[in-house]
Amino acid sequence: MHYKFTIIVPVYNEEDNLERVEQELLAYTKIASVPSSVLFVNDGSKDNSQQLIETICNRNDAFNYILFKENRGLSAAIKAGFDYADTELVGYIDSDLQTDPQDFNLLLEHIGEYDLVTGVRADRKDSFVKNMSSKIANGIRRAFTHDGMDDTGCPLKVIKADYAKRIPMFKGLHRFLPAMILLQNGKILQVPVKHFPRIAGTAKFGLWNRLIGPLMDCFAYLWMKKKYINYTVSKSSK
């Protein structure tokens, strides 16, 4: 089958969630608005995640994986997914499934006109501390980037692959994906999506990397914005 959309699933110690991830994503591929495949990116898990991933991929033609030699973080996993995907559209969803894969169809409705469409968790099912730290972090980021996005941490996005592959990713920059599309003169949109409590596994982000980390990353973004190279080729012999 010729796939048009690759769903990247970063994985780090999510053995308790992976069979549910398989069920939900397999169900989505059957109702997806475009032919869709799944790419697990195992970020050096220390549990039984890799064995489960290989079993899942062996029984599903649309599922593939890459395995990191060591843990490199969420931004690296997303970047690797962008690099390895061979479809015209890419997206990602967290393996905790706090967002619904079927909502990808809501985002895909708009991807023709826009270059990145991100979900925004309208009714978050997280703790008070997590919600407040995310709101503060998003406010700080908006002040630096002026991207107009309310929830860049939402783990449900669709991006045109040619834009995604040009993003110079570094640690923490997954929070700035909409801003990085704007640097390429692309168009971005946010769409409300469903959100659920985490059922299994443990969260990988605490107060430090939800609040202090993003603040530090804002300065890295400002540096990159100042140095960013953007060009348009008007003619070529190739």
Has residue 144 been placed in a domain?
yes
What 8-state DSSP symbol labels residue 15?
T
Determine, yes or no, domain membership for 238.
no
Angstrom distance (rounded) from CA 38 to CA 201: 21
Judge whether 61 lies within some domain: yes
List pLDDT tens digits, range 178-208. Answer: 988 998 999 999 999 997 765 555 555 555 5
pLDDT at 144 over 70: no
CATH code for position 188? 3.90.550.10
Say whether pTM exceeds 0.85.
no
Within-domain flag for 234: no
Is 192 domain-assigned?
Answer: yes
Identify the pLDDT of residue 155. 87
Residue 14 included in any domain: yes
Query: Domain range for residue 50?
Result: 5-227
- What contacts 23, CB < 8 A, 6 or more positions away? none
How many structural domains is the chain composed of? 1
Collapsed DSSP state (helix, strand, coil) of residue 38: strand
Q: Mean of the per-residue pLDDT values for the chain?
A: 85
Please report whether residue 147 resides in a domain: yes
**CA-based torsion, 193, 197, 201, 202: positive or negative:** positive
- Asked if residue 82 belongs to a domain, the reply is yes
How many degrees, rounded to 5, is the angle at CA 216 between CA 211 and CA 218?
95
Please give the C-alpha separations between residue 113 and each of 6, 107, 187, in angstroms, as whole numbers.
Answer: 19, 11, 8
